[in-house]
Structure 1
Amino acid sequence: MSPSPRHPARDTIPLGDVELHDHYLPALPAGDYRIEVTHTLRDGASVVGGPFTAVQKFTVRGPQVRIDAGAVIAQQPPDGSSGRFAEVLPHVVLGDPMLAWERPLTGASHDTPWLALLVLTDSQLVGGATAPTRTLSATVADFLADDPAVLKPALTVESDVGPGDGCVYIQVAASAFQAVAPRLDELRFLAHCRGANTADRSILGLAEDGLFSVVVANRFPSTAASDTPSAPGADPATGTRNIVHLVSLEGHERILVAAPDFQGRSSVALLSLCSWSFQAQPDRAADFADLAEGLTRTPSGARAAREDMWLRLPAAAHGPDTDTDAGRHLTRRLDDGYLPLPYLTRSGEATYGWYRGPLTPVLPAATDQAALATTADALIAYDPTWGSFDLSLATAFETGRALALADAPYAQHLLAFRQATRQLVDTLHHQATSTHLQRDGSGGEGHTRPVTARAAFGALLDSHLLTALGTPPGRPGAPWSPPVSAPSPDPVGTLAAVLRSEATRAALTAATHTDDGLGEHLDRVADWLGRLLLLYPVPFTPLVPDERMLPRESLRFFHLDPSWLDALLSGAIGIGAQSSRDTAQDRIVAATIRAAATAKAAAHRATQRATTPADPTSDGAPADGATGFGPVSGLLLRSALVSGWPNLAVRASDPAGAPVPILRLDHLSPTVLLCLFDGLPAVVELAEPQEGFRFGVQDHGLIPLRNLLAPPGTPGGRPLGEQLGPDVTFAVLDHLRAGTDGRVLDLGSLVPALTAALDTAHGGAVGPLGPADLALQMVRVPEAIRFTGPNGD
């Protein structure tokens, strides 16, 4: 698949907005090309030799028989979902904005896509009964081989596709293909390009540029009510299984007409590039609105209280006894996010200990001990009143140590950094204790700083050295006596004094900012520790130690415990320390390491998205001059929303309405989403992604007509895309193909009628209707759910 070109759409479009374009055409469509250059030499009227000819063949590569696995960004309705989808036009969002137009179709205009989305039922597909979406697998040669019962595409395979390459295809009954396949002149209205700001989405490993190509089906899904009960896949209780295939129409142009000639074949073979299925039924069990609304309810169906939305054990787990001191102590601990777990002491006694991970329902106070600890035991807290242990920070320390030891490259970089630090300290110690180097008196108040050996040698050369060497030695006037030995200095005490000195701290700090000093090693260490601060390598169990804290279909908010993070970094930084000297050195540079790691964590998401920290629209980037982040909060979402809408948008704002930067937004599993905010938001919104909103009709088959004339920013004008009025509607379902067993749009009738209705509603001609204009009229606004802070509703 061709890479998407860089485009500013993802950062220039405001969050929540979307741009629609008719297409995104490549400069040169995919295919095999031949350049022939002829040069003729003439001498007057006669030709000299030749003609001289040069031929160059080349191929513009593009997908032909398959697309990359990661090319599909979103599918609507989601794969495997079940809901009220009868009024929704299925569509697929592709990560490459040019993919839908990369290949030309014979007899079609250059803006005609080569892809189409077919919505089928089991009864309309032939073969493939063992595959979930009724697909068949074969080599390219076998797929194109002539079959008297199957019409194959007249496909010219490009040079980069071998006959033995694999492909996936489907066979559609000829009558079904004639009923549901779009006509050649309708195809351009079923694909468009879309731009959106992607700052509120998880990155998902995409080379994202904010532009997407979208292919829309021309058929509404079938439901149990519209199919015969005996039809395969039709069940009044569960609805009808609809199968959607993104197919290539290349080579089938001759049958994309109202009355195609199938040459006596009973079915048509089409390359399937992507496929999924869903159940269309009357209820709304898997709609975005109902799934989002379910996040605000308890398992019993009652509305959840605000305190039920924090990450901790539910109130039902507290137990009935809250009238005693022990009961109140237990309730307070559980409300603070703690969990009692079995604990085996070093002496072999079995007891229990309290544990709380870094994601807490309360804002904990930071403690200095976590950043200064060198062992996990130093962070075990004991409550003599209740005889219980708090092992939270000790667990964090051991988690950081275990993760660091398991990562060999990090351990090597940390060891190199520690050795470079030792060499620098040795140099400073030698300068401080040398009796051969003079002191220049520049060490600050009451201190003298030894000069370097180079400076001392230079001063010696500047003196009258040669004169002194040429002067004969004089005769000593006093009798000789043996020198008195000076007391030997205490090396341990001297080294400790050097380590504690401000000169050493200043020298180490300065060296960490130079590329030829400690800076190169520090940068690599800080990269790893920055990811550790954002909990990337931390297993899920230390984060959520009990499933009851995050049940299915739940959303939980939390604060990030700074002391837990300090202990986590202490464990990771302390590996490989072999002596008290290493420990002392680590303490000197610890503040610098932690500051560098925090800065890396603050800029991590901006780095992933290839934005700069100074970019005002980038999330997760610190402001100019900032080196880290403040109090961190976040959310954990465990729901079918995550799997059904993998590009789910998460937006947060402060009390003034300004966006709160996102530090991390990632899928921990197909159904679990973790988001970390740089600050405490006043409002958090979960929304369908702008590039993944739905197309379709409202109740009774109507759509509201939207403004197409006013450009953005026109003073006093109606904004582009705004509804023209609550009663200004258009009946889409009046324009369906006649004689078909499904509701298939007749675009040849729909587009002219919609254009006339828009002309009337605008009071003037709006011009020819393009694919983007049709998409704007058919769009169903993305749904969202908003959560507010304690001062909201």
Structure 2
Amino acid sequence: MTTHPTEQSAPADDTPVTFHDHLLPGIEAGRYRITVDQRLPAEDLPGARLDPVEQIVDVRAAQFRLDPSWVHAVYPAAHSQGPFHSLLPHITLNPAALPWEREPFTGGVRNPTRAPWLALLLFGEGELPGDPNALGTTASLTVRALLDGAAAVSGPALDRDAVDPALLDTPCQVIDVPRDLLAQLLPELPDLAFLAHVRTGGEDAAPVEGRDGRPGRDAHAVITTARFPGPAQGRYVAHLVSLEGHTPPGVRADGKPVRLVSLHSWTFTSCPESGDGFGRLAGRFAPGNGEHSAAPLRPAPAAGLPDELGTLLEQGMVPLTHITESGERALAWYSGPFLPRVAPGLPRPADGHFPDADGLLLHEPRTGTFATGYACAWNTGRALALADPGFATTLVRLRHQGRLRRATDRQYATYRRQLFHSAPSAGPAPRTAARAATPTPREQFEELLRGGELAALAATFGVPEGEEPRPRTVRAAPTAYRAAPPRRSAAPRPTSSDARETAAWLAGLRTLSGVPFDCLVPDQRMLPPESLRLFHVDRGWLDALLDGARSLDRHPGADATTDAELDDLLDGQGPVPAAGLLLRSALVPGWPTLRVEARTASGTVPVEVIRREALGADVLLMLFERMPDHLTISEPRQGLHFGVDDQGNVALRSLAPGEVGRPLERSVPVGTDPALTVTTPAGARVLNIGGLAARLAEDVKPGSALSPAEFAVQLVRAPEQLTLSFEGTTR
């Protein structure tokens, strides 16, 4: 079964989100015996009966450990805090078929509903004996010890011969769960299938499906828990556990705790009154929220400052201590590449590149101090180039190659001029046999002087390199010169690998890759916690940064050709950053794939993102090709989560073809219905999965049962988003 929720049940995007009931592997993990038996029709012929051939084949899949890279996302985010009491935690896995590669429970239990062998269990504080504080503590055992079992617990009953011998001495993480608690949290086998499905789409790339409609390479498996976090504040730990080899809940009543293999776990804190949910965190960036509101990146001016100082602060400049070459300390003004205004163009030297940082120390006439921003950029670029031995070696080699080519060209031009001046005259025959030979340079020079050819001599010496000296008609005895040797082809030389590598490194530096954060934001008060700041990028600062990096072993006269070649290559390395934003918020670690879309022209034209990178734990940097006038911040596309609304209701959605996911403007009360949300003796709120699926089917699919994909569509809560514009904010 496949369902395609529309944009009403997913973020507004051109890429639809598709739910599948499951993705079954071609063959389940386990040990198989392959027997080949061949018989000929005429059994009386010699050799008609061949002995059967048997082969034992082990089909292996994850069993006791999970590769951390297979975990695509978890919700709520690890170590996050927020109002999660109405949401069902879930985990998204990259191997889409992983939950169905093995069988749950023991081999004698039938599984017609294709229930997964993985389950997500949620535990609160004081529920797990080995982890009373819900910190994610697990016990480490070898696989051999797990299979041997222990008298005090009920472990999985697995065939040791079917386990890879190389895994027996490897560690695995286990938790011991009281049997009564497990029976309360784990649904029955037929209902367990509703807690897992496959999702495609909703990513940056368009969904790719096979010809048979099976999930494509962007598919992810999603496993949801049936338990809600409590309404009161508390810490919870979620464990992705293996059900393989166990008995269904309630079958055995020996009272022993059940030992489960924990493949992945994370903790979070549910606090209904917390302001750390996505909507509340993003809502702070709206206008009217003080320093949290989206604003230009600049220091906050202090009260009572003179007008000239307040103007400098408004322009994004920060007062800092400047240590001169003589060791004296003085006040100076610093501005990084991020400014709240469009910076004026930086005047360039005649050759286009600054040779040192001293020429970039600009005098600030209003305060009588220096502005050191460009000089700092130059020194930073040079320091980063020296810190990268690969780049430094490549750049120096490129310059030496350029100088060698230049020297070769000069030598060739000199040789051609010498051939031109040593050409024999076509005038009267020589007076002696000795004069019939090619004249020496001295004789040619004397002949020129006698013939009054000083002007021709001066003109010849003044020929620029690479140009042909032209024959002249002289006033005295004119002479005819033979043709000069043919010139070399003027076709451009192919770009060397060193030049391409150097240009690529400089292009990365132009996006401020590797530049220390203190150079970008010199005062932390410019970017307070839970704030979003927009800025223009100073092109002069970027040019000074690159000039410093290119200053290694640079000689302005000898390296002009190499510099021009690098300039041409840099022009082809994509757009130069012109604007950007800095986001300092708990959204960055809590939602690593947070979506930020920039648009201009009244929100219709997307702005190209040149660089996006998390700087530190809670700071996100984005650089754009131009300044946007609309920003949309939304939860990740794979951040679709499940649960009920603030009133405890499930908003019903259509399952009709072509309208899957469309809201039906009616809902089913779940949180207040004790038949659908069961409160266990321990105080846990657990969904009655089977009862809820039947109740939802009555409204959206009368006369039929819901599939896991259709059940997931009903429980979807679409990601929130916030749109910011210069005129205001809309939610």
1:126 and 2:116 correspond: no
1:313 and 2:316 correspond: no
Is the Cα–Cα contact under 8 Å of residues 174 and 260 in structure 2 kept in the other structure?
A: yes
How far does residue 161 in structure 1 lie from its aligned partner after superposition? 4.9
Is the Cα–Cα contact under 8 Å of residues 292 and 530 in structure 2 kept in the other structure?
A: no
Deviations 1:346-394 (A, max 9, x none): 1332112211111221121332428511211121111244221111111
Equivalent residue for 1:212? Answer: 220
How far does residue 189 in structure 1 lie from its aligned partner after superposition? 0.9
Deviations 1:121-169 (A, max 9, x none): 2332122458822321121122232222211012345327521101111
Q: Which amino acid aligns with 2:726?
A: G
Secondary structure of 2:393's match?
A: helix
Equivalent residue for 1:141? Answer: 144
Residues 204-603 of structure 1 correspond to what in structure 2 (within 5 A)? 210-224=218-232, 239-252=233-246, 254-256=247-249, 259-262=250-253, 264-296=254-286, 302-303=289-290, 309-314=295-300, 318-322=301-305, 327-369=306-348, 372-435=353-416, 476=433, 483-485=440-442, 497=465, 510-511=492-493, 514=494, 518-577=495-554, 579-596=555-572, 599=573
Following the alignment from structure 2 to structure 1, what is the Cα–Cα distance between the partners of residues 383 and 490?
A: 28
Is the Cα–Cα contact under 8 Å of residues 296 and 304 in structure 1 kept in the other structure?
A: no
How far does residue 190 in structure 1 lie from its aligned partner after superposition? 0.5
Is the Cα–Cα contact under 8 Å of residues 125 and 134 in structure 1 kept in the other structure?
A: no
1:175 and 2:175 correspond: no
1:632 and 2:569 correspond: no
Is the Cα–Cα contact under 8 Å of residues 424 and 508 in structure 1 kept in the other structure?
A: no
Is the Cα–Cα contact under 8 Å of residues 509 and 592 in structure 1 kept in the other structure?
A: no
How far does residue 417 in structure 1 lie from its aligned partner after superposition? 2.5
1:737 and 1:525, CA in 2 relative to 1: closer, same or farther beyond 3 A?
A: same
1:417 and 1:791, CA in 2 relative to 1: closer, same or farther beyond 3 A?
A: farther
Equivalent residue for 1:233? Answer: none
1:753 and 2:688 correspond: no
Is the Cα–Cα contact under 8 Å of residues 284 and 292 in structure 2 kept in the other structure?
A: no
More moved, 400-409 vs 279-288:
279-288
Equivalent residue for 1:677? Answer: 624
How far does residue 294 in structure 1 lie from its aligned partner after superposition? 2.7
How far does residue 283 in structure 1 lie from its aligned partner after superposition? 0.7
How far does residue 631 in structure 1 lie from its aligned partner after superposition? 5.3
How far does residue 558 in structure 1 lie from its aligned partner after superposition? 1.3
How far does residue 50 in structure 1 lie from its aligned partner after superposition? 7.4
Q: Which amino acid aligns with 1:410?
A: F
Equivalent residue for 2:711? Answer: 774
Following the alignment from structure 2 to structure 1, what is the Cα–Cα distance between the partners of residues 328 and 636?
A: 53
Deviations 1:559-584 (A, max 9, x none): 2221111111111122132x444443
Following the alignment from structure 2 to structure 1, what is the Cα–Cα distance between the partners of residues 156 and 255?
A: 12
How far does residue 178 in structure 1 lie from its aligned partner after superposition? 0.7
TM normalised by structure 1 equals: 0.76
Secondary structure of 1:286's match?
A: coil
Equivalent residue for 2:212? Answer: none
1:508 and 1:186, CA in 2 relative to 1: closer, same or farther beyond 3 A?
A: farther
Following the alignment from structure 2 to structure 1, what is the Cα–Cα distance between the partners of residues 259 and 462?
A: 85
Equivalent residue for 2:47? Answer: 48
Deviations 1:487-530 (A, max 9, x none): 8x99xx9999569xxxxxx999932xx3xxx3322222222222
- Give the number of aligned pairs: 655
Equivalent residue for 2:450? Answer: none
1:694 and 1:331, CA in 2 relative to 1: closer, same or farther beyond 3 A?
A: same
Equivalent residue for 1:84? Answer: 83
Following the alignment from structure 1 to structure 2, what is the Cα–Cα distance between the partners of residues 81 and 112?
A: 30
More moved, 105-114 vs 743-752:
105-114
Following the alignment from structure 1 to structure 2, what is the Cα–Cα distance between the partners of residues 691 and 669?
A: 23
Unaligned runs of 5+ in 1: 1-11, 202-207, 225-238, 440-473, 500-505, 600-627, 712-718
How far does residue 304 in structure 1 lie from its aligned partner after superposition? 5.1
- Which of these residues, 627, 639, 645, is aligned with residue 692 of structure 1? 639
Is the Cα–Cα contact under 8 Å of residues 594 and 636 in structure 2 kept in the other structure?
A: yes
Q: Which amino acid aligns with 1:80?
A: H
1:347 and 1:170, CA in 2 relative to 1: closer, same or farther beyond 3 A?
A: same
Following the alignment from structure 2 to structure 1, what is the Cα–Cα distance between the partners of residues 308 and 173?
A: 62
Following the alignment from structure 1 to structure 2, what is the Cα–Cα distance between the partners of residues 563 and 433?
A: 40
Following the alignment from structure 1 to structure 2, what is the Cα–Cα distance between the partners of residues 84 and 723?
A: 24
Q: Which amino acid aligns with 1:476?
A: A
1:153 and 2:156 correspond: yes
Is the Cα–Cα contact under 8 Å of residues 118 and 241 in structure 2 kept in the other structure?
A: yes
Deviations 1:321-344 (A, max 9, x none): 24xxxx212111111111111111
Is the Cα–Cα contact under 8 Å of residues 297 and 304 in structure 1 kept in the other structure?
A: no
Secondary structure of 1:669's match?
A: coil
**Higher-RCO chain (CA-CA 8 Å, sequence separation at least 6):** 2
Is the Cα–Cα contact under 8 Å of residues 39 and 53 in structure 1 kept in the other structure?
A: yes
Equivalent residue for 1:722? Answer: 662
Secondary structure of 1:434's match?
A: helix
Is the Cα–Cα contact under 8 Å of residues 649 and 667 in structure 2 kept in the other structure?
A: no
Is the Cα–Cα contact under 8 Å of residues 334 and 372 in structure 2 kept in the other structure?
A: yes
1:88 and 1:284, CA in 2 relative to 1: closer, same or farther beyond 3 A?
A: same
Q: Which amino acid aligns with 2:220?
A: F
1:83 and 1:148, CA in 2 relative to 1: closer, same or farther beyond 3 A?
A: same
- Which of these residues, 645, 654, 671, is aligned with residue 600 of structure 2? 654
Is the Cα–Cα contact under 8 Å of residues 135 and 169 in structure 1 kept in the other structure?
A: yes
Equivalent residue for 1:619? Answer: none
Unaligned runs of 5+ in 2: 1-10, 207-215, 421-430, 446-456, 468-487
Deviations 1:714-738 (A, max 9, x none): xxxxx4312112x454546442357
Following the alignment from structure 1 to structure 2, what is the Cα–Cα distance between the partners of residues 277 and 746?
A: 24
Q: Which amino acid aligns with 2:225?
A: A
Is the Cα–Cα contact under 8 Å of residues 630 and 679 in structure 1 kept in the other structure?
A: no
Secondary structure of 1:353's match?
A: strand
Following the alignment from structure 1 to structure 2, what is the Cα–Cα distance between the partners of residues 636 and 55?
A: 64
1:44 and 1:272, CA in 2 relative to 1: closer, same or farther beyond 3 A?
A: closer
Is the Cα–Cα contact under 8 Å of residues 42 and 48 in structure 1 kept in the other structure?
A: no
Following the alignment from structure 2 to structure 1, what is the Cα–Cα distance between the partners of residues 179 and 577?
A: 63
Equivalent residue for 2:209? Answer: none
1:338 and 1:47, CA in 2 relative to 1: closer, same or farther beyond 3 A?
A: farther
1:634 and 1:25, CA in 2 relative to 1: closer, same or farther beyond 3 A?
A: farther
Q: Which amino acid aligns with 2:125?
A: D
1:699 and 1:581, CA in 2 relative to 1: closer, same or farther beyond 3 A?
A: closer
Following the alignment from structure 2 to structure 1, what is the Cα–Cα distance between the partners of residues 561 and 524?
A: 42
1:567 and 1:200, CA in 2 relative to 1: closer, same or farther beyond 3 A?
A: farther
Q: Which amino acid aligns with 1:635?
A: L
Equivalent residue for 1:443? Answer: none
1:130 and 1:176, CA in 2 relative to 1: closer, same or farther beyond 3 A?
A: closer
1:337 and 1:747, CA in 2 relative to 1: closer, same or farther beyond 3 A?
A: same
1:509 and 1:243, CA in 2 relative to 1: closer, same or farther beyond 3 A?
A: farther
Following the alignment from structure 2 to structure 1, what is the Cα–Cα distance between the partners of residues 504 and 89?
A: 42
Following the alignment from structure 1 to structure 2, what is the Cα–Cα distance between the partners of residues 509 and 349?
A: 55
Secondary structure of 1:283's match?
A: coil
Following the alignment from structure 2 to structure 1, what is the Cα–Cα distance between the partners of residues 134 and 260?
A: 16
Deviations 1:237-287 (A, max 9, x none): xx22222111111112x224xx3214x242001111111222333313221
Q: Which amino acid aligns with 1:687?
A: S
1:191 and 1:373, CA in 2 relative to 1: closer, same or farther beyond 3 A?
A: same
1:564 and 1:738, CA in 2 relative to 1: closer, same or farther beyond 3 A?
A: closer
1:160 and 1:416, CA in 2 relative to 1: closer, same or farther beyond 3 A?
A: farther
1:736 and 2:677 correspond: yes
How far does residue 412 in structure 1 lie from its aligned partner after superposition? 2.4
